Amino acid sequence: MRKRKNNNNKTIYAILILACVVGFWVFENFYTPDTYSDPKSDGVRTNLPNYLLPSSTTGQLVKHEHFMLSYSEPYEQAEWVAYTLKKGHLTNDDRKRPYFIEDPKVKTKSADWRNYKGSGYDRGHLCPAGDRRFSEYAYNETFYTSNVSPQDRNFNAGVWNRLEMQVRRWAKRYDEVFVITAGILEADLVEIGEEDVAVPRYYYKIIARGTKDNLKVLGFLMEGRESTKALKSFLVPVDLIEKQTGIDFFQDLSDDLENTLEVQVNSSGWRF
Q: Identify whether the C-beta of residue 262 lies closer than 8 Å to the C-beta of residue 242.
A: yes
Q: Identify whether the C-beta of residue 108 lies closer than 8 Å to the C-beta of residue 195.
A: no
- Angstrom distances, CA of residue 82 to CA of 34, 63, 105, 123, 196: 24, 10, 16, 18, 24
Q: Which residues pair with 86 in a beta bridge?
A: 176
The catalytically annotated residue of 64, 66, 89, 125 is 125
For residues 110 and 112, give the distance between their C-alpha atoms in angstroms, rounded to a whole number: 7
125 is catalytic: yes
> How buried is residue 86: exposed, middle or buried, by Cβ count under 10 Å (0-12/13-18/19+)?
middle
> Which letter, b or e, does each residue of 26-48 get, where b requires 16 or more Cβ atoms within 10 Å of its Cβ?
eeeeeeeeeebeebeebeeebee
> How buried is residue 228: exposed, middle or buried, by Cβ count under 10 Å (0-12/13-18/19+)?
exposed
Q: Which residues are catalytic?
A: 125
